[in-house]
Amino acid sequence: MSALYPLFFTPIPKERLWGGDQLQRFLNKSFQGETIGESWELSAVSGDVSVVSEGPLKGQRLDELIEKHKGELVGHDVYKRFGNDFPVLIKYIDAQKDLSVQLHPHDHLARERHNSFGKNEMWYIMNAEPNAQLIAGFAKDTTQAEYQQYLDRGAIEDLLHYETIDKGDVFFIRTGTVHAIGTGILLAEIQQTSDVTYRIFDWNRTDKNGNTRELHTELALDAIDYQKRDNHLVNYTKITNQRNSVVSSPYFTTDIVPVNGKLSVPTTTIDSFVVLMAVRGDTVIEVDGKTYPLPFGSTVLLPACLSAFSLQANQSEVLMVTI
């Protein structure tokens, strides 16, 4: 019998210039500080590796567990593909101010320059102030030369595409896409494991010491997708008590699962770990006759060796992430 069980990890707070206190107030995170912008729920990024918070494996690091349990934990196909690297980084993000306009390089460029994965990412909007906006791509097709002209004259904002958003919206941000999360947005983020970001514009602001943040305008030139694309906002259906596909990509797959009552989820056909993020309401997970609370704003990693689990709730929603 496997020693593995549903694994909860201690969230890692990240102070950001644009952060706030909604992760504490809205998601009940026990963080200290008024500018916490990110809660890293599940991470194998060097220097920020998640640590198990409960049960017999409490205190063990995610990378140590993968090295020891291999395919039993992450799935045999996943382990063949990624080895001891955990392929996704799971976060909650609180933007009390606009994030910088930025982009992420694709896999080949990221590997060549930074020995890293690229960074395709998905956002699920958990809460948003009225008329909140985000930036996703350009408002028109452009070229490197034209983009450089806008940048040089300080008019890059005029070239960007703005989306007014609502709670429940999903965006898939591909590598090369210029983007920024706007003021008053709380979201769940699923991304490839990478912390490589090219910042191209930061609203001319300074930190508490009067310093501007570093920009990566030269590095970004070869990484930007200069075409206008209309595929950032994801259309999806949402039927209660079933898995509804939201994002299916080579990097990760995400379903949204609205739960009302009890739902059994077989996993024998999934050769992958499962990450569950509680994005609305409280849910209870049952595995092998044992129950585990999954409160709103929490995250759990279900090892691949578990053959099934069930979810029970009175009107909740869970994001289900696999590879």
Task: Return the SS3 of 236.
Answer: coil
Q: Look up the domain containing 26 and give its range.
A: 12-221
Q: How many CB atoms lie within 10 A of CB 74?
A: 29
Q: What is the spatial distance between Cα 35 and Cα 32, in angstroms, rounded to a whole number?
A: 9
pLDDT tens-digit series, residues 83-127: 999 999 999 999 999 999 999 998 889 889 988 888 999 999 999
Same domain, 306 and 207: no
Q: Where are the alpha helices (DSSP H) in the chain?
A: 22-25, 62-69, 71-74, 76-82, 107-114, 144-152, 217-221
pLDDT tens-digit series, residues 303-321: 999 989 999 999 999 999 9
pLDDT tens-digit series, residues 24-47: 999 999 999 999 999 999 999 999
pLDDT at 194: 84
Eight-state DSSP code of residue 244:
E
Distance of CA 121 to the CA centre of its chain: 6
Q: Are 39 and 29 in contact (CB under 8 A)?
A: yes
Taking all residues of the chain, what is their mean pLDDT, rounded to a whole number?
Answer: 95
129 found inside a domain: yes
Q: Of 129, 102, 133, which Cα lies nearest the Cα of 203? A: 102
134 found inside a domain: yes
Same domain, 101 and 195: yes
Q: Which residues are catalytic?
A: 199
Same domain, 101 and 248: no
Same domain, 20 and 89: yes
Same domain, 132 and 256: no
At residue 77 the predicted structure's pLDDT band, cuts being 50, 70 and 90, is: very high
pLDDT tens-digit series, residues 245-281: 999 999 999 999 999 999 999 988 899 999 999 999 9
pLDDT at 1: 47
304 found inside a domain: yes
Q: Residue 123 belongs to a domain with what CATH number?
A: 2.60.120.10
What is the count of structural domains for the chain? 2
235 found inside a domain: no
Quote the longest CA-to-CA distance of the chain: 64
Angle at the Cα of 99 (from 116 to 28), degrees rounded to 5? 90
Same domain, 70 and 182: yes
φ, ψ dihedrals at 2, nearest 5°: -70, 145
Q: 159-195: b or e for each residue (b if 16 or more CB lie within 10 Å)?
A: bbbebebeebbbbbbbbbbbbbbbbbbbbbbbbbbbb
7 found inside a domain: no
- Count of residues making up the chain: 323
pLDDT tens-digit series, residues 2-25: 789 999 999 999 999 999 999 999
Task: Return the SS3 of 152.
Answer: helix
Same domain, 159 and 255: no
Per the listing, tokens 């998601």 go with: 27
Same domain, 32 and 175: yes
27 found inside a domain: yes
At residue 134 the predicted structure's pLDDT band, cuts being 50, 70 and 90, is: very high
